[in-house]
Amino acid sequence: MRTAMVVDDNAFHRELLEVFLGTMGFTQVWTCDGPSEAMRTYKDAAPKPSIVLIDHELGPADGLRFLRELVQVDDSVRAVFFSRDPEAERECYKAGAVEYVRKPYSIAEVGRAVNRAMRPGVVS
């Protein structure tokens, strides 16, 4: 079973990604608007999300900080990181992301990143 979690403070982006991931065969997609909700959801989820999509700017919170905390909880998490900041790419990989998508993104770019992240053997 393929499951996913989307962490983004923008409701439109959460809904867009939730619907898109459903078309990609993800049977359960949790959506969260910030790090606190996302961490609770991740810890309580059964099964754990197969992939987590994280926005860099989460309102007053920082997506990189959340990614680092998530990797401490589960070092096998497959995270796709979204950012408009080109400087964030290197940092997101250091923090544990397996894919990076530069904003603004096309839904095709997201699909390719998710497919790459879901390949067997891909770990952060």
3-117: CATH, from 3.40.190.10, 3.40.50.2300, 3.30.1490.20, 3.10.20.30? 3.40.50.2300
Task: Please return the burial class of 98, using the count of CB atoms within 10 Å of its CB with bins 0-12, 13-18 and 19+.
Answer: buried
CA distance 109 to 96: 20
**Would you give per-residue pLDDT tens digits along the chain (124 residues)?**
999 999 999 999 999 999 999 999 999 999 999 999 999 999 999 999 999 999 999 988 899 999 999 999 999 999 999 999 999 999 999 999 999 999 999 999 999 999 999 998 765 4
